[in-house]
């Protein structure tokens, strides 16, 4: 079964209220709101991607003559309770909020970010926030929280009936008494970062991606799987070679495993100007893994490393990477 892709994301700067001293961002009642900075540039972004870990090193510079405080936000992938209930999704961590093991360092020192958690349901193609509803019932917002069923059963019967009638929770999906949340949670980590005047600040963060995937069978040439990633004749030939060198057990067995990763690049445009120096590295697990992406210029520099280097890079779309691996 194909697993829906859950995005890995980048840093954003967000709005701060007027009156604060040289500030650009704050946490409002409606959540973190992105704003483009006019004075802080991203001098460099070194992005390294594998199916196990994503790590990023940024160098930001405040080009103004004043210190500036910014709330820096890291939004996690949206997590759908319906998806978790009906599809196999490999979650990297058992922490219901920090489910990707996110860590951040600023100038070499660990930062303990705060967390904003909001829950939404889709009604007639419109997202409705139910964070306050869950809070009033003392039900955790994260669909990964194992205490949801017990908390829900303690809520007043009228509130339980409303949630079940609206399809926001399903207590009949399985016969083990578990109530499955059908809402989507949006989690953001954030912290206030000071950017000293005319100075550079290094920000590093890392996390484990939620990797989507399926597989390619021996009778499938892989063309439909490659198309969204701009894979051409070269990638098709590599798939064919892999099938020959490492044949599957039968026509229905996986010949190659798909590993799909998406990284949100366009949040870099919230900072001033383009990314002055951008480096992307993709690290496959094995030298014969096949790496495909629509971002032009990614080339192998060693048997198990691909790189792309750009100057004054202004991303206009997100980064989608497909890694094909031997199934056996």
The verdict on residue 3 lying in a domain is no
Residue-level pLDDT at 8: 58
DSSP state of 265: -
**160 in the same domain as 50:** no
Residue 263 near residue 9, CB atoms below 8 Å:
yes
Q: What is the pTM of this model?
A: 0.88
- Please tell me whether residues 156 and 298 are part of one structural domain: no
Q: Domain boundary at 182, 210, 243, which?
A: 182
Q: What is the count of structural domains for the chain? A: 2
- Burial class of residue 280 (count of CB atoms within 10 Å of its CB; 0-12, 13-18, 19+): buried
Q: Which of 182, 202, 219 is the last residue of a domain?
A: 182
- Spatial distance between the Cα atoms of 48 and 56, rounded to a whole number of angstroms: 6
Report the DSSP pairing between strands 68-75 and 54-62.
unpaired
Compute the distance between CA of residue 100 and CA of residue 92 in angstroms, rounded to an integer.
5
pLDDT in tens, 70-112: 888 888 888 999 989 988 788 899 999 999 999 999 999 999 9
CATH number at residue 96: 2.60.40.3680
Q: In this predicted structure, what is the pLDDT of residue 4? A: 36
205: three-class secondary structure by DSSP: strand
Task: Tell me if 89 is assigned to some domain.
Answer: yes
Residue where one domain finishes, among candidates 182, 208, 224:
182
- In terms of Cα–Cα distance, which of 120, 114, 115 is closest to 187? 115
Residues 42 and 87 in one domain: yes
Is residue 284 one of the residues assigned to a domain? yes
Same domain, 75 and 147: no
- My answer on whether 155 and 70 are in the same domain is no
Q: How would DSSP label each residue in 66-112?
A: S-EEEEEEEEPPPEEHHHHHHS----S-S-SSSTT--EEEETTEE--
Q: What's the domain range around 17?
A: 12-130+183-326
Residues in the chain: 328
- Binned average pLDDT, 10 residues per bin, the chain of 328 residues: 46 50 36 71 96 94 93 88 87 93 96 95 90 97 97 97 97 95 94 94 93 91 96 96 92 93 89 95 96 96 96 94 92
Q: How far is CA 198 from CA 52, 61, 184, 293, in A?
A: 36, 7, 41, 37
């Amino acid at each position: 079964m194909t697993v829906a892709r859950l995005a890995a994301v980048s840093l954003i700067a967000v709005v701060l209220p007027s009156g604060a001293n040289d500030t650009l961002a704050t946490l409002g009642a409606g959540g973190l709101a992105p704003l483009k900075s006019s004075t802080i540039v991203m001098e460099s972004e070194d992005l390294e991607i594998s199916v196990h870990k994503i790590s990023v090193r940024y160098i930001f510079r405040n080009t103004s003559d004043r210190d500036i405080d910014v709330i820096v936000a890291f939004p996690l992938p949206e997590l759908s309770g319906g998806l978790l209930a009906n599809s196999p999704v490999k979650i990297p961590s058992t922490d219901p909020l920090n489910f990707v093991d996110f860590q951040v360092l600023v100038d070499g020192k660990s930062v303990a970010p705060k967390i904003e958690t909001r829950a939404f349901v889709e009604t007639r193609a419109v997202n409705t926030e139910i964070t306050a509803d869950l809070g009033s019932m003392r039900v955790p917002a994260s669909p990964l929280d194992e205490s949801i069923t017990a908390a829900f059963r303690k809520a007043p019967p009228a509130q339980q009936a409303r949630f079940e009638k609206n399809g926001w929770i399903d207590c009949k999906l399985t016969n083990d008494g578990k109530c499955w949340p059908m809402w989507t949670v949006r989690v953001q980590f954030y912290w206030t970062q000071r950017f000293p005047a005319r100075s550079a600040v290094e920000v590093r963060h890392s996390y484990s991606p939620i990797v989507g995937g399926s597989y390619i069978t021996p009778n499938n040439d892989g063309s439909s799987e490659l198309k969204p990633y701009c894979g051409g004749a070269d990638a098709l030939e590599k798939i064919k070679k892999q099938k020959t060198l490492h044949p599957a057990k039968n026509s229905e067995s996986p010949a190659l495993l798909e590993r799909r990763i998406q990284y949100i690049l366009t949040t870099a445009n919230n900072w001033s100007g383009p990314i002055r120096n951008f480096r992307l590295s993709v690290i496959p697990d094995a030298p014969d893994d096949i790496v495909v992406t629509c971002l032009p210029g990614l080339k192998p520099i060693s048997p198990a490393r691909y790189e792309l280097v750009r100057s004054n890079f202004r991303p206009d779309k997100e980064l989608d990477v497909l890694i094909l691996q031997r199934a056996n």
